[in-house]
């Protein structure tokens, strides 16, 4: 089953719960636009190579499309469609006026020079500019893209239209209209959800542990995983006993020094060679550890029917997009595992992107505490809304989040009607 088919399967499960009519199902399950571009890029040696890129706008009933652009050798249209699909529900579930979009270029950027990456970025953005704009579609960083690439995008668009347009992308450097708090935003959203799910389960009487006694394992120590680990350690005083990245896993029974690990990562580019843990473990062993909370913050489909029965965590907070496939989720749910779904748990990034967009449109910028307070308020409200929907329909949190989001988008679609 493809990633997009997985996403639609999750949508259909929620649509069945809420008895959504067939016409609305068809409208909401199909992408509005799929743009594929094949474009040449001049390489440093004078030759030209043709690259393929995509930009998908899934739904814009609530507002302009919003979603990142990734550079990866395995990017496909199917993957981009699925990610755009999830962005629609992510924006809706947290109540911000965006639709879902996503983009990607099939390229391994580590094989290109910085100047080649710049030329690729500028040409790709020019190619997709026909559907991009601060009131139409606002890209952001994703896998292997960053603030510098967003700066090139913004400058390219601005040069093409003849004036500076800060709001055409988010995730920009602070010096050209970025927002404070954006780098930590997704990890901070995961930290908020981790706290809220423990509070909720304690109130229900099904967990009975204070946050300081909770053990946590985090697969993935990139931007999201590293900030989530550090904030959960420093602000919630939980015990992060295992983390991993591409170099493998690192375990310490007494808890890891995540601040030290984050500094090591910044200096070395990965955790390879880090000696502050009790022992090295594999990524697979991390997923199967006996911990209270597991946070998959790496790639899609790392928990499947093949390994779900070995997952022992009582709570899974999905920091990555689609880390559990539907079959794996069924197994976890049957075991009583509580899953905070990705498009709730990792919505901190798009929420602060929304704050950045608002600031860019107004040319008026907020203080860090304003950003953090607004993020906490929105994320907590979204989590509580999902919990209430779950109790209303007696369904798991992912289905509840979908129902919550689908209701908002479906109602907007009904109110707007079908043109003409």
Cα–Cα distance between 55 and 128 in angstroms, integer? 7
Cα–Cα distance between 144 and 108 in angstroms, integer? 9
Residues 35 and 56 sit within 8 Å (Cβ to Cβ) = yes
Cα–Cα distance between 370 and 359 in angstroms, integer? 12
Residues 244 and 221 sit within 8 Å (Cβ to Cβ) = yes
Cα–Cα distance between 386 and 338 in angstroms, integer? 13
Cα–Cα distance between 400 and 53 in angstroms, integer? 33
Strands of 279-281's sheet in order across: 279-281, 248-251, 239-245, 215-219, 293-296, 315-317, 338-340
Residue 369 has a CB neighbour count (10 Å cut-off) of: 10
Give the rounded distance of the alpha carbon of 49 from its chain centre.
30
The residues that bridge with 279 in the sheet, in sequence order, are: 251
Angle among Cα 297, 298, 299 to the nearest 5 degrees reads 125
Give the rounded distance of the alpha carbon of 222 from its chain centre.
12
Residues 289 and 242 sit within 8 Å (Cβ to Cβ) = yes
Identify the H or E element spanning 104.
strand 99-106
Residues 93 and 382 sit within 8 Å (Cβ to Cβ) = yes
* Catalytic residue positions, numbered: 102
Sign of CA dihedral 142, 125, 34, 348: positive
Give the rounded distance of the alpha carbon of 44 from its chain centre.
33
Residues 72 and 108 sit within 8 Å (Cβ to Cβ) = yes
């Amino acid at each position: 089953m493809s990633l997009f088919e997985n996403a639609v399967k999750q949508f259909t499960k929620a649509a069945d719960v809420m008895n959504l009519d067939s016409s609305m199902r068809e409208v909401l399950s199909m992408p509005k636009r799929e743009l594929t571009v094949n474009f040449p890029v001049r390489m440093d040696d004078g030759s030209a190579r043709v690259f393929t890129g995509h930009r998908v706008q899934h739904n814009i009933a609530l507002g302009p499309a919003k979603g990142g652009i990734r550079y990866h050798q395995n990017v496909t249209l199917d993957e981009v469609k699925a990610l755009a699909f999830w962005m629609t529900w992510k924006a809706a579930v947290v109540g911000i006026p965006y639709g879902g979009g996503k983009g990607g270029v099939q390229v391994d950027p580590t094989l290109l020079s910085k100047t080649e990456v710049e030329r690729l970025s500028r040409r790709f953005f020019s190619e997709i500019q026909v559907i991009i704009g601060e009131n139409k579609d606002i890209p952001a960083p994703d896998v292997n893209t960053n603030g510098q690439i967003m700066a090139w995008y913004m400058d390219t668009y601005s040069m093409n239209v003849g004036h500076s347009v800060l709001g055409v992308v988010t995730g920009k450097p602070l010096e050209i209209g970025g927002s404070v708090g954006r780098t930590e935003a997704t990890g901070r959203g995961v930290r908020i959800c981790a706290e809220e799910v423990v509070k909720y389960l304690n109130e229900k009487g099904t967990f009975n542990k204070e946050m300081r006694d909770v053990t946590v394992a985090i697969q993935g120590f990139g931007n999201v995983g590293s900030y989530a680990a550090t904030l959960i350690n420093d602000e919630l005083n939980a015990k992060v006993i295992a983390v991993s990245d591409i170099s493998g896993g690192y375990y310490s029974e007494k808890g890891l020094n995540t601040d030290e690990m984050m500094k090591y990562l910044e200096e070395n580019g990965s955790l390879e060679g880090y000696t502050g843990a009790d022992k090295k473990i594999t990524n697979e062993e991390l997923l199967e550890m006996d911990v209270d909370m597991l946070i998959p913050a790496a790639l899609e489909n790392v928990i499947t029917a093949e390994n779900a029965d070995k997952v022992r965590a009582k709570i899974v907070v999905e920091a990555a997009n689609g880390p559990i496939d539907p079959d794996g989720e069924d197994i976890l749910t049957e075991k009583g595992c509580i899953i905070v779904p990705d498009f709730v748990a990792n919505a901190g990034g798009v929420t602060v992107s929304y704050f950045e967009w608002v600031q860019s449109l107004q040319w008026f910028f907020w203080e860090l505490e304003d950003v953090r307070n607004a993020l906490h308020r929105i994320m907590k409200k979204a989590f509580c809304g999902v919990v209430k929907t779950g109790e209303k329909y007696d369904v798991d949190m992912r289905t509840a989040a979908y129902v919550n989001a689908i209701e908002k988008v479906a109602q907007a679609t009904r109110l707007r009607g079908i043109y003409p």
